[in-house]
Amino acid sequence: MVYLVFPSSWHPSQPYLSLPSLKAYLHMHGIQDVKQRDLAIELLDHLCTWERTKPLYERIIDELRELGNKPRHSQFEQEKYAKLREAEEVIPALKYEIDAAKDSLRCEDFYDLDRYMESLKIIDVWLDNILAPYFPSQLTVIGSQMRYSPYSTKEVFESFTNPNENFFYDIYKEHYLPSILKEDIDILGVSITSVEQIIPGLTLAHLVKQAAPHIHITAGGSVFTKLVDRMERDGSPAFQFLDSMIVHEGETPMLKLVEEVRGGGDLSKVPNLVWEDKGKVRVNRPFAKEELNKLPTPDFDGMPLDLYFSPERVLPIMGSRGCYWERCAFCSIPFDHMDFHVRYAENVVADVQKLKEKYNCNYFFFTDEALPINFMRTFANKIIEADLDIKWTGELKFEKSLLTENRMELLYESGCRKLIFGLESYNQRVLDSMKKGVELEVIDRIVEECVRIGIGMHFYLITGFPTETPTEARESVDFVVNNPRILNSPGFSCIISQFDLEKGTPLENNPSEWGITDLHTPPDHDLSLGYSYKISTGMDSEEAEVLYRELQEKINEKVSTFPDNYSLSDGLLYLGHHQEELTTS
C-alpha cells in the first residue's frame, strides 16, 4: 500500500491539496492501493475531545504530586510546576465545554461571531493546558512551538530522545503508529510543506522507520526543494530514516518511485528524487515539471472532511503553478516551481463541478501563488456559463489589466468574494526596489473597484525590506489604518510580516544590488531556509523588528482578528453567508 500522510500543523478549516493531487494521479495510472491521512486535523480533534484526553489530565495530577514531593526544584521544575497547577485548575472548568466549542465551529454557530471567537479561545486555552505535561512545548489551533529548532537536524534528532517535550513523538507513537503499522505499507509519503511541519513530519518518519525498516519512506514539499544544494554538498542525517525526498513537483516522481520500489528498484530512474547511495547524496536531474492539463481532478476520498472546523466544506483547487511575474526580489516561488505553467480554465471549471457534486462543496480556495488575469477571465466566464453557484477566493498581483473590460464585475458574478493581494508596500520607491512592477495609481484604482463592487480584500505587507526606511514602512501601514473605505469594506483583512531573506530569491543571488553583505546561517542550521545578513542602507534587523512590532500593533488596533484576519477560508465563509442572509431577508 502507498500511504500518504499530512502531519501537523495546518489551519483546521480545510484540507491541503498535496495528498489529494497525488492520490488522484496514482489512481489514474493504475495504482489503486493508496490511502491518505491528514494527521494535522486528526490530532487536533483528538486533543479537543475530553474523553480522549482524560489520561493527559491524570498525568498532570500525577506529575504535580511527584514534583510537589520533591524538597527542592530547579528553575525549570518551578516553571513546569506552575504550569501544571494552572492546568489542574483550568481543565476541570473547561472539560464540559471543549467538545461543544469544537462542534460549534462545524455548525451554524460558526456564523455567530461572538460564539466563533469564544470557541476558538476555549480551544486555545484548552490546548495550552492539556499539553502541560510536555512543558515548555505548546500547541495552538494553527501551530506548535518547541525549544528544539526545526532548522537544525541535530535539534530535531534531540527532540526524538525527549518525548517528555516532543508531544508529537509521544502521541503519534501511542495513538497513530499502531494504526499505520497494521496496514500493508511498502511506501510511506510524508508531505512537509512548511517549517511548522518539519519536527512532526520527521518525528513520524523516524517512528515508522524504527518499527518497520522495510517501508520506503519518502518526504516531499517545498521545504526540501529549497535545501537540495545544501544536502547534495554536505549530506543530510535525515537519510538515517528517510529513504528519499521528492523535490519540486511530485505527481510523476511519486508514480515512478512506486514503480521502481515495486519493480526494478533503480532509484536513479525516478525524476526529482534526492536519495542517498553509498553514503553520498544523489540528486536526479534535470528536474521535471508536470503537464498540468493531464492531471486529474484531486481526490479527497479518505480525507476526514467532517473533522475540519468549518460548517461548510472549503476545498483547495489549483489553476497554475509558480508565478507568471517571477521578478519580485524577495520571492522564492520561481525557485520552488522552476517555470510558471497554467491549467486550462475549462479543466479547472470541470474540477470545480466534479468536486461540488461529489463532496457537496460550494466554496473553493485557489492555491495559486498569483492567478493570471487572462485565466481568471476565462474561468469566470465558464463558471457563469455552467451556472455553478459557488464562492471562491484566490491570490493575485495588482495588475492594470484588471481594470479593463469590466473584469472585476465578471469575477464577482462568477462567485469571487475575496481577492488576496501581495501589496507588500505602499511606497513607490520600495515597490520599485522590490521589483513589484506596479504603480500606486493602479493599486488605488483596483482597491476602489473592490470596494465599489463588494469584493473583499486581503493585503500582505512586508516591513524591513532592505533599503526601506521607517518612514517608508509607516506609509504602507498608514495607507490601511487611515483609510476608512478599506477598513469598513466587508471581509477586509491585513497581515504584516517582518522581512526574511530566503534561499532561492533574487536577493540571495545578487545581494550587492540592495547593499546586503555577509549572508550566513548558524553552523548547525542545516535545514534553515533563509539567512542573517548585514546591510549598508535602511534598517538593520534589530531596528526592523522594533518597527515591525509597532506596526503590527497599529494594524491590530484597526483590523479585527476574527474571522477575516484569523483565517482566509473562514472569512470567505462569512462573506458568503452574509450575502445569503441579505438575499433571503
What is the extent of the structural domain holding 471? 313-512+538-584
Residue-wise pLDDT for 155-195, tens only, equals 999 999 999 999 999 999 999 999 999 999 999 999 999 99
Number of structural domains found in the chain: 1
Q: Is residue 550 part of a domain?
A: yes
Dihedral (CA of 332, 144, 102, 121) sign: negative
Burial 88-127 (b: 16+ CB within 10 A, else e): bebbeebbebbeebbebbbeebbbeeebbeebbebbbbbb
pLDDT tier at 337 (50, 70, 90 boundaries)?
low
pLDDT tier at 580 (50, 70, 90 boundaries)?
confident
Q: With 70 as the cut, is the pLDDT of residue 52 above it?
A: yes
Q: Is residue 568 part of a domain?
A: yes
Q: Is residue 483 part of a domain?
A: yes
Looking at residues 416-441, what average pLDDT do you find? 97
**Confidence at residue 143, expressed as pLDDT on a 0 to 100 scale:** 86
Q: Is residue 446 part of a domain?
A: yes
Among 296, 298, 410, residue whose Cα is nearest residue 361 = 298
199, exposed or middle or buried, with CB in 10 Å at 0-12, 13-18, 19+? buried
Q: Rounded to an integer, what distance in angstroms lies between the CA atom of residue 122 and that of residue 103? A: 12
337 touches 248 (CB < 8 A): yes
Looking at residues 256-266, what average pLDDT do you find? 95
Residue-wise pLDDT for 62-112, tens only, equals 999 999 898 999 999 999 999 999 999 999 999 999 999 999 999 999 999
Q: Is residue 410 part of a domain?
A: yes
Q: Rounded to an integer, what distance in angstroms lies between the CA atom of residue 495 and that of residue 556? A: 9
**Confidence at residue 437, expressed as pLDDT on a 0 to 100 scale:** 96
Q: Rounded to an integer, what distance in angstroms lies between the CA atom of residue 312 and that of residue 306? A: 9
Please state whether beta strands 314-317 and 320-321 pair in parallel, antiparallel, or not at all (unpaired).
unpaired
Helix/strand/coil (H, E, C) string of 476-507? HHHHHHCCHHHHCCCCCEEEEEECCEECCCHH
72, exposed or middle or buried, with CB in 10 Å at 0-12, 13-18, 19+? exposed
Residue 571 sits in a domain whose CATH number is 3.80.30.20
pLDDT tier at 585 (50, 70, 90 boundaries)?
low
Looking only at Cα atoms, what is the longest distance across the chain? 78
Q: Is residue 103 part of a domain?
A: no
Strand partners, 501: 531
Q: Is residue 92 part of a domain?
A: no
Q: Is residue 198 part of a domain?
A: no
Q: Rounded to an integer, what distance in angstroms lies between the CA atom of residue 443 and that of residue 303? A: 39
